[in-house]
Structure 1
């Protein structure tokens, strides 16, 4: 099993897909939790169907055999490249995996199952047990889990919990750091060179200063710069559109924490000014909310923000995981 970790828009999905292509992997299915607005034990079937449709479109000469195997799965309807779930049942995904295992065996290949934003799928009852079953009994099926909410992903993997289904099973962990300033500038320079566009270095430096080393935001800036020819418009569009996405993610997080909403936002406001140590951050939060907190309370707030990748730790200091959180906080103040 391979586990790919990193903050949102760092490039985990791209890394996985490029890696599969470069290694000539023919059989792989990507089940992306982001393909539905809200992942539940009900909508997960739509995620499965979309992943299988993509697999069939990409499978070339193997497609016919795959379709035949999937069509035999009770609860699935397969017509051409279209896959529909006709009967939802707890063991449907396991039967799908068994069919994919047979396809891999028939071709002598391995079948790679990629679960993107895998921690979100933990809302599905028995998901961790399903992964453990695949790991133990389907040798031709390989698992790749990618996730941005690192603490929740660790929980799914059973880190430190001997009773968790996946506890004790070895896996290769790939942690994706953000790009350094020089790497970010090189990333933009190479992109503009490939487009045949001469772009002033001063513009790229400002973009890196505002967007940090997150490839997703840098890519969006490069695209809008090419499309509009305007540095200012490109940067403003990334900040505006990106902040809308980040705000939606933050609001979903806060929706289940209404009583402590003010404290979570105050903690993020503290970090908007720059990185802080644990004790500096606790003091800042207590000053903002005008009351003292015990260590357990404060640690719980900080741990949850880290679990959901709004905050990350670098050395002894904590910082915002995404630079656009600063813009979100400004918007939420108004």
Structure 2
């Protein structure tokens, strides 16, 4: 049985199979043509990787998956391995040089790439303090144009000049970084997504089932895609939801491993209520944490979750909620 391309869970690399993000793709390409460097921000599973891959394919650039890259050497090797064939670089020589002098060697590689696009996915994972300096030099000395995706933490903040206490972040202020925010689908768009897949792929889904799926996944495209994929394979509504839950539980378990105890307690608190004002959220969090929490510690943890796009803040109502409702499934949130 052929997979419905719209519901294919792997990242897309063509507009044809990518739902309703034409405007953002075109905006990214327009910015790159004007020598601006787009930074695409948003929650996980919202199609940021697909946007980068489509842009790279259409404009002939280089895609770098930085989800497991931490050091400047790892980044250099990834750039080298993804560009060696296209630009006829000597792999052995440059690998040796990256080990000895990573920063200057990457600068040399970038100069050889000429007027090309280097798209770095999940840039916030790169913890090396040298990358900001490297990018600043690249802007002044090379023709390479960069595009990034990430969450608003770590290097992503430094790129926008909003990182505190890091002298290197000031080197990038005034550089041509343009922020593009990706948000979850609203209910109407979620319904259109599932309905379009139902019609174009002949998937048997009732209107009531679509409404239930829309309410369950609250506009997170990744979960809607998994659900649609299971339905296209012939699974029932309830079985498809059960299988999506299994996937979500495993993925989110890994994602929250690096979070602190207060951050986990906040997520647990928000899994018990749909929305909460600051004072109520702090009270519930302290009950889960089984200890009082100083305001500054609580605010810091909450801010990190907001910057990571795990928690959303409604500025008008002054309420907080989980951006991705599937975070409620994480069993490790009970470990305090």
Q: Could you state the TM-score of these two structures normalised by the residue count of structure 1?
A: 0.78
| Equivalent residue for 1:155, pick from 158, 166, 172 | 158
2:119 pairs with 1:114: yes
Runs of 4 or more above 6 Å deviation: none
Structure 1 counterpart SS, 2:64? strand
Match of 1:75 in 2: 94
CA change 1:234–1:126 in 2 (3 A) is same
Alignment of 1:1-334 (within 5 A): 1-21=37-57, 24-26=58-60, 28-34=61-67, 36=68, 39-41=70-72, 43-52=74-83, 56=85, 63=86, 66-67=87-88, 70-71=89-90, 74-76=93-95, 87=99, 89-91=101-103, 92-101=105-114, 104=115, 111-121=116-126, 123-138=127-142, 140-147=143-150, 149-152=151-154, 153-159=156-162, 163=167, 164=169, 165-251=171-257, 253-254=258-259, 257=260, 261=261, 263-272=262-271, 273-315=273-315, 316-329=318-331, 332=334
* 1:51-88 deviation line (CA, Å, top 9, x unaligned): 336xx4xxxxxx4xx22xx22883249xxxxxxx9856
Alignment partners' CA distance in 2, 1:114 and 1:176: 17
Alignment partners' CA distance in 2, 1:74 and 1:232: 55
Alignment partners' CA distance in 2, 1:14 and 1:97: 24
Unaligned runs of 5+ in 1: 57-62, 78-84, 105-110
Alignment partners' CA distance in 2, 1:48 and 1:237: 36
* 1:171-194 deviation line (CA, Å, top 9, x unaligned): 221101110011001011112222
Structure 2 counterpart SS, 1:39? coil
Q: CA deviation at 1:117?
A: 0.4
Structure 2 counterpart SS, 1:113? strand
* 1:171-228 deviation line (CA, Å, top 9, x unaligned): 2211011100110010111122221223212222222222110111111111111123
